[in-house]
Amino acid sequence: MKTQEPEAVRRATCCVIGCGPAGAMLGLMLAREGVDVLVLEKHADFLRDFRGDTLHPSTMEIMDDLGLAEGLLDLEHTKAPRLEARLPGGTVTIADLGRLKTRYPFITFMPQWDFLDYVTGEAERYPGFRLEMNAEAKDLILEDGIVRGVRYVTPEGSREARALLTVAADGRSSPFREQAGLKMVRTSPPIDVLWFRLSRHDGDPEDTFGYAGGGRFMVVINRGEYWQIAYAIRKGEYQSVREAGLAAFRRSVGDTIPDFADRTGELQDWDAVKLLSVQADRLRRWHRPGLLCIGDAAHAMSPVGGVGINLAIADAVAAANILARPLREGRVRSRDLTAVQLRRELPTRAIQAIQSFAQRRVVSSLLGPEGAPSLPAPARALLSLGPVRDLPARIIAFGIWPEHVKRKEPVARKESV
C-alpha cells in the first residue's frame, strides 16, 4: 500500500529559493517551458527598501522576447537615454544609449517591487508555477551527496520542498553556498555607498547623472517624485561620516550639488541614510549535484554601472534555456549545470573586472583630495571617436554576452484570467 505523504512536503521538478529578479524570471521562464516550479520567498511581499531599479536594454530585449516589454512599459517608470557626469569643468557624457541599435535605447527606472509583481503575475498564468510567500528556506536536504530540496519555515510551520533541482537565487548572503560546500572568491572594493532620497521640485532637471567635485562623488537618479541619491564614500569611512554629524553630511551634499542645498534639511536623522556595504565576490563553482546558484548568490556585483539586476536576469535566462529540457525529461546532469556556469561566468568576471577598474581608478580618484581629474587632450580625442565613445554605452546596455530567450513560443498554455 502506498504511504500517504505528509502535508508538510511539497514536490516540484525545480525549487527556486528567493523571488528577486533572478528567481522570479527563472520561475516565469521554466513555467512557460512547461516545468513544474515552486518559488519560495521569505518576505510577505516585494516591498523593500531601494535595491536597484535599473532595467537595461539587455533586460528589455529579454522582456520583448517574452512578449512582455509593452506591458512592463505600461507601468509607471522613468527613462534615461544618457548618463552624464557633471564635473567642475563641465558635463561629460559617459554613455549615450540613444546611439545604440536596439528597440529600447534607454535605462528604464522602475521600482523593483513593481517589476517583481509584474513578472510573478505573468508567471502565475502558467499552470506549472507556484509561488509561496512567507516561506523562508533554512537547510538543504542532502542525501548521498545530492541536494534533494530544502527545508523551509512558514507562519503555519516547517515544510520540505523536494525537487529534482534546487536553485539558490536568494541573493548575496545566501547560506546555501556554504551548506553545499561551494567556495567563494572575494574581492575588497575600495568604496561603500550611502543611499538616500531628496524631493524633486518643479524646474529640476529630468535626467539621471553623476556629480563630482570637492572630493565627493554622487549619482542622482530621477525617480519621478523624488531623487534617489548614491553618495560614494571610501570603504570604512562610514563611522567617521556619522561622527562628523548629520549637519556636516547635509552640507557636503549641498556643496557638491548646489541645486539641492535648499532641501537637504529633509534628511532628519541617520535612518534616512542607508549604508550599502559594497561587496563583489563570485563562486568558484556554481553548482553541485541537485543544486545551482544564480544571480547575486553566485556573484555579488558592485553597484558601479547598475548592472546587478540585469546580470541576475541574464543568469536566469541562460539557466532556463539550458535546463528546461533536462528538467522536463526528469534528468539534470552535472554537465547541464556546468553549461550554465560556463555560459555566464566569463561575462560576469569581465564585468567585475571593469567595475573593479572603475572603482580603483575613477571613483577612488574622485574621492581624493584633488577631486575630479581633467582628461588630457589625446584621451579626449580618443573618446570622441565613434566606436570608443559608444563602448561604455554598449557595455552598460548589453554587458559582455547578452542572453535571449531561446523558445519564443511557450510550451505551456496560459490559463485564462
Taking the CB of residue 313, how many other CB atoms lie within 10 A of it?
28
307 binds ligand FAD (CB under 6 A): yes
As a whole number of angstroms, the distance between CA 194 and CA 275 comes to: 5
In sequence order, which residues have a C-beta less than 8 Å from that of residue 21 and are 6 or more positions away?
Answer: 112, 115, 116, 295, 309, 312, 313, 316
Q: Is 17 or 405 the residue whose CB approaches ligand FAD more closely?
A: 17
308 binds ligand FAD (CB under 6 A): yes
As a whole number of angstroms, the distance between CA 211 and CA 201 comes to: 18
Cβ atoms 33, 184 nearer than 8 A: no
Minimum distance between the CB of residue 236 and ligand FAD, rounded to whole angstroms?
18
Pick one of 68, 246, 276, 375: the residue that binds ligand FAD (CB under 6 A).
276
Pick one of 303, 326, 402, 410: the residue that binds ligand FAD (CB under 6 A).
303
Cβ atoms 353, 403 nearer than 8 A: no
Q: Is 50 or 238 the residue whose CB approaches ligand FAD more closely?
A: 50
Q: Which range, of 44-52, 321-329, 380-388, 395-403, touches ligand FAD by CB under 6 A?
A: 44-52
Minimum distance between the CB of residue 388 and ligand FAD, rounded to whole angstroms?
24
Minimum distance between the CB of residue 22 and ligand FAD, rounded to whole angstroms?
3
403 binds ligand FAD (CB under 6 A): no
Q: Are strands 291-293 and 157-168 parallel, antiparallel or unpaired?
A: parallel
Minimum distance between the CB of residue 370 and ligand FAD, rounded to whole angstroms?
27
Q: Which range, of 39-47, 85-93, 95-103, 254-262, touches ligand FAD by CB under 6 A?
A: 39-47
**∠ CA 174-316-178 to the nearest 5 degrees?**
20
As a whole number of angstroms, the distance between CA 27 and CA 312 comes to: 13
359 binds ligand FAD (CB under 6 A): no
19 binds ligand FAD (CB under 6 A): yes
Pick one of 72, 87, 97, 137: the residue that binds ligand FAD (CB under 6 A).
137
Pick one of 304, 312, 332, 397: the residue that binds ligand FAD (CB under 6 A).
312
Q: Which range, of 47-55, 69-77, 96-104, 197-205, touches ligand FAD by CB under 6 A?
A: 47-55
Q: Is 84 or 296 the residue whose CB approaches ligand FAD more closely?
A: 296
Report how many residues bind ligand FAD under the rule CB under 6 A. Answer: 33
As a whole number of angstroms, the distance between CA 287 and CA 166 comes to: 10
Cell 530585449: give the residue: 61
340 binds ligand FAD (CB under 6 A): no
Q: Which range, of 19-27, 63-71, 239-247, 333-341, touches ligand FAD by CB under 6 A?
A: 19-27
Q: Is 290 or 295 the residue whose CB approaches ligand FAD more closely?
A: 295
- Range 81-87, long-range pairs (CB < 8 A, 24+ positions): 81/105, 81/106, 81/107, 82/207, 83/107, 83/208, 83/209, 83/210, 83/396, 84/207, 84/209, 84/210, 85/209, 85/210, 85/211, 85/212, 86/209, 86/210, 86/211, 86/212, 87/212, 87/213, 87/372, 87/374
399 binds ligand FAD (CB under 6 A): no
What single letter denotes the amino acid at residue 80? A
Q: Is 164 or 313 the residue whose CB approaches ligand FAD more closely?
A: 313
290 binds ligand FAD (CB under 6 A): no
As a whole number of angstroms, the distance between CA 262 and CA 413 comes to: 55
Residue 54: half-sphere exposure toward Cβ, Cα within 13 Å: 24
Q: Is 177 or 216 the residue whose CB approaches ligand FAD more closely?
A: 177
Cβ atoms 54, 110 nearer than 8 A: no
Minimum distance between the CB of residue 382 and ligand FAD, rounded to whole angstroms?
28
Of 406, 324, 339, 309, nearest in space to 31 by CA: 324
Mask 162-201, x = binds ligand FAD (CB under 6 A)? -------xxx-----------------------x------
Cell 528567493: give the residue: 18
Q: Kindly report the backbone phi and psi dihedral angles of residue 416, in degrees, each rounded to the nearest multiple of 5, phi listed first.
A: -70, 145
As a whole number of angstroms, the distance between CA 397 and CA 337 comes to: 27
Q: Is 76 or 262 the residue whose CB approaches ligand FAD more closely?
A: 76
Residue 193: half-sphere exposure toward Cβ, Cα within 13 Å: 22
Q: Is 112 or 321 the residue whose CB approaches ligand FAD more closely?
A: 112
Minimum distance between the CB of residue 329 and ligand FAD, rounded to whole angstroms?
27
Interface residues toward ligand FAD, by CB under 6 A: 17-23, 40-43, 50-52, 54, 136-137, 169-171, 195, 276, 295-297, 301, 303, 306-310, 312
